[in-house]
């Protein structure tokens, strides 16, 4: 089994091996993936953190011997986390993996890396829905980006996934997968901070997710990460009053 690690701040993960096709997700710096296939410029891989598959540029990856079973335990704790790669500064996103560093140093293929900051170990954090909600607010005004998982751009399910990851809760990549987790909450009035609200389209397919701050407000990525009002019918844009998403179900992941 060949393993690779992302050696750039963000590597777009595409549906096919072309720059012209849809970006379905991203690998963040330090995240490890299993190689499934290679073409001239791209590598098809499966990310170890969520088992999501896609094509990344081969030049943004480096082969590693590590099997990855203990990686992704230490995360970059700051909005922007600087590291040094071959003597040059590289700015990492919140949530990047720092597990490759041993006493502040790492050597991955031709890349010599140094890091002198702190890290966040989710396994040492007790799951606290209120703390999760406060953490989520760090992302406010981050632009929406289809397939995004970083502070440079993030989609709705990537936002939920990253926030829960910091509190040692692993969510799948897509909202249609995330809705399968947790216990249903019968009514919005019974919702608690940290509950996940899911929204469907006219065909009944789950297409959106957000994190409830309480029974009347939600933080989610739509245009940007924002806080909006919510009622039994769905989300109401706090700026325009427009009803934007139709509520389908609420789930509690604990």
In a domain, residue 242? The reply is yes
- Residues 96 and 162 reside in one and the same domain: no
Percent of the chain exceeding pLDDT 90 equals: 94
In a domain, residue 139? The reply is yes
Phi, psi for residue 39 in degrees, rounded to 5: -125, -170
* 84 in Cβ contact with 116 (< 8 Å): no
**Is 156 one of the catalytic residues?**
yes
Q: What is the pLDDT of residues 56-66, one digit of tens each?
A: 999 999 999 86
* 235 in Cβ contact with 228 (< 8 Å): yes
Q: Which CATH number fits the domain that encloses residue 23?
A: 2.30.30.40
pLDDT at 240 over 70: yes
- Residues 103 and 26 reside in one and the same domain: yes
Catalytic residue among 72, 156, 163, 245: 156
In a domain, residue 120? The reply is no
Catalytic residue among 6, 49, 133, 208: 208
Residue 91, pLDDT score: 98
Residue 72, pLDDT score: 62
CA–CA distance, 151 with 135 (Å, rounded to integer): 13
- Residues 109 and 131 reside in one and the same domain: no
- Residues 212 and 231 reside in one and the same domain: yes
- Residues 17 and 135 reside in one and the same domain: no
Helix 156-165 with 129-136: angle, nearest 10 deg:
130
- Among 81, 105, 110, residue whose Cα is nearest residue 93: 81
Q: Which CATH number fits the domain that encloses residue 132?
A: 3.90.1720.10
**13-34: average pLDDT:** 98
Catalytic residue among 49, 72, 220, 245: 220
What is this structure's pTM?
0.95
**78 Cβ partners below 8 Å, 6+ apart?**
94, 117
**Is 220 one of the catalytic residues?**
yes
In a domain, residue 8? The reply is yes
Residues 133-138: contacts with CB within 8 Å, 24+ apart? 133/193, 133/194, 133/211, 133/213, 133/219, 135/163, 135/166, 135/167, 136/163, 136/211, 136/219, 136/225, 137/219, 137/227, 138/79, 138/94
In a domain, residue 119? The reply is no
- Residues 98 and 131 reside in one and the same domain: no
Residue 17 belongs to domain spanning: 3-114
- Residues 237 and 193 reside in one and the same domain: yes
Q: Show which of 55, 82, 114 is a domain's final residue.
A: 114
- Residues 53 and 137 reside in one and the same domain: no
Q: What is the Cα gyration radius of the chain?
A: 18
Q: Show which of 114, 136, 161 is a domain's final residue.
A: 114
Q: What is the pLDDT of residues 71-93, one digit of tens each?
A: 568 999 999 999 999 999 999 99
> From residue 236, how far is each of 141, 196, 214 by CA, in Å?
17, 16, 15
Count of structural domains, the chain: 2
- Residues 109 and 18 reside in one and the same domain: yes
Residue 71, pLDDT score: 53
CA–CA distance, 123 with 99 (Å, rounded to integer): 13
Q: Show which of 67, 93, 114 is a domain's final residue.
A: 114
* 53 in Cβ contact with 16 (< 8 Å): no
- Residues 93 and 135 reside in one and the same domain: no
Q: What is the DSSP letter of 102?
A: B
């Amino acid at each position: 089994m060949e393993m690779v690690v992302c050696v750039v701040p963000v590597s777009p993960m595409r549906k096919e091996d072309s720059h012209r096709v849809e970006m379905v997700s991203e690998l963040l710096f330090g995240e490890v993936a299993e190689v499934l296939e290679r073409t001239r410029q791209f590598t098809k891989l499966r990310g170890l953190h969520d088992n999501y598959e896609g094509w990344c540029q081969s030049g943004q990856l480096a082969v590693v011997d590590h099997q990855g079973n203990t990686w992704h335990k230490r995360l970059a704790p700051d909005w922007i986390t600087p590291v040094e790669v071959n003597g040059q500064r590289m700015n990492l996103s919140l949530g990047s993996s720092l597990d490759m560093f041993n006493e502040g140093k790492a050597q991955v293929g031709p890349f010599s890396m140094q890091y002198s900051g702190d890290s966040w170990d989710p396994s040492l954090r007790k799951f606290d829905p209120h703390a999760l909600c406060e953490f989520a607010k760090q992302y406010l005004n981050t632009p929406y980006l289809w397939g995004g998982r970083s502070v440079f751009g993030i989609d709705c399910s990537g936002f939920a996934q990253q926030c829960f990851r910091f509190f040692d809760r692993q969510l799948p990549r897509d909202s249609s997968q995330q809705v399968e987790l947790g216990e249903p909450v019968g009514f919005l009035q019974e919702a608690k901070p940290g509950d996940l609200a899911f929204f469907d389209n006219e065909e009944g397919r789950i297409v959106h997710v957000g994190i409830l701050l309480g029974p009347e407000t939600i933080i989610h990525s739509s245009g940007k990460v924002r806080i909006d009002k919510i009622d039994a019918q769905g989300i109401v844009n706090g700026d325009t009053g427009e009803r934007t998403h139709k509520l389908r179900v609420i789930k509690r992941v604990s």
